[in-house]
Structure 1
Amino acid sequence: MEKTYNIGVEATMEVIGGKWKPIILCHLRNGVMRTGELRRAIPKITQKMLTQQLRELEAAAIICRTVYQQVPPKVEYCLTDYGESLETILHQLCVWGEENVDRRREQGEQVNLLQWDAALENRDK
């Protein structure tokens, strides 16, 4: 089946688009994570949605799923080499988001960025 895209970003968004995939990928940039760790890191995602998004990213060869045969079962996720090629894109999305939060704060909006705020607190100590 032939696919046609009007612009390259369409092909990118087909693989990493949506509300949750970029967030999952940003967390996995920092290293291997288990399902429960991802759930805690992304508290608003449901288990069903997390599982679905992880399966889609695995099918696209962006992440790798490793299952350890033990009781209880242990499953870990990490970026593949192909997934790591998204590092620049993911980093720029994070930077843009942080700058956007700063801009909105300067305009008087009450907006929180938990990970950024925690990093600033730790830096000041």
Structure 2
Amino acid sequence: MLDVERAGELFEAFGPVRCRPMFGGTGVYARDVMFALEVRDVLYLKTDASTQAAFQAEGCGPFSYDTARGQRTIASYWRAPDRLLDDPEEFAVWARRALAVALSRKQQAPRKQSKKT
């Protein structure tokens, strides 16, 4: 599982991150948004239509897991290419793209309206 020390090493060229346990794995946050997910020692980065082709070209696929009703796929997180884990500078480039996607999605999300009493 991704812990603070390992995350610090992995994301050193990217910058500071926070890790939170979730989904039996770890959510990775920067600037108050989750942009990466680690599950079963596999790292996934946030994607959108503009970044998925790069993941496909590397032979990577989206995050998926098994449920009682079959397999469920989360198309917005794709497996990070293994080669990036040995190249901190290029990994940081991919991580920055994932963060940009996450920030963009956060800005597009509809805001909850407060209830007036």
* TM-score, reference length from structure 1: 0.25
Structure (1 or 2) with the larger CA radius of gyration: 1
* TM-score, reference length from structure 2: 0.26
- Structure with the larger strand share: 2
Q: Which has the higher contact order (CA 8 A, sep 6+)?
A: 2
